[in-house]
Chain A
Amino acid sequence: DAMVIQNPRYQVTQFGKPVTLSCSQTLNHNVMYWYQQKSSQAPKLLFHYYDKDFNNEADTPDNFQSRRPNTSFCFLDIRSPGLGDAAMYLCATSKSRDGSYEQYFGPGTRLTVT
């Protein structure tokens, strides 16, 4: 089955220790998104890629970086995690940036910062 895969599902890191979250997709979608979601809150868009065209949201902290080496893979790097970065990180894909296409989500990575 075509799908969006995120690894790891759970990640524990220490305050200030860099961490990388990964996402892969077999849907061959052009658009990939990274969201941060905290408990009982709306998903917050961090970045999105349209092919290799990178789009950073204005309020995404510099601490967050992303890479998309090819169509299938996308990475979220948190350079110096703080306690406030503990959250669920969701990767999603879409066939197009046209707003009529649904987004397909991976299962998420729950990040804990100690």
Chain B
Amino acid sequence: GQNIDQPTEMTATEGAIVQINCTYQTSGFNGLFWYQQHAGEAPTFLSYNVLDGLEEKGRFSSFLSRSKGYSYLLLKELQMKDSASYLCAVSDSNYQLIWGAGTKLIIKP
């Protein structure tokens, strides 16, 4: 079967750095997405990785290792508004998105 694993919840301090991990087992791979979802709202796109390595976009970076079936989202200089769920999703061989359940990130002052 196809599976995406992420930690259920993480806590971090305002101004700090946090890394959210995602491991996946899918039938084929056509890229990995990270989305941010605030409570009661729709997901919004953060990043897309299809090649190995690190993609940096402001305070957010995303890393991919296809051989390990592993990605992480790195958030720097955490702000209170970063409190949200972060969803990892993989595009499989049929270009269907397989979604993780999300990691709820709690930021404390």
The chain A residues found within 8 Å of chain B, CB to CB, are 40-45, 88, 90, 97-100, 102-108, 110
Contact = CB atoms under 8 A, between A and B. Distances in A.
Nearest to A31: B95
Interface of B: 4, 8, 30-31, 33, 40-45, 48, 50, 85, 87, 91-92, 95-97, 99-102, 104
Given A98-B95, A100-B91, A42 B101 contact: yes
Query: Majority SS of interface residues in chain A?
Result: loop
A40 B102 contact: yes
Query: Majority SS of interface residues in chain B?
Result: loop
A83 B102 CA distance: 24
A105 B97 contact: no
B48 A107 contact: no
A72 to B, nearest CB: 18
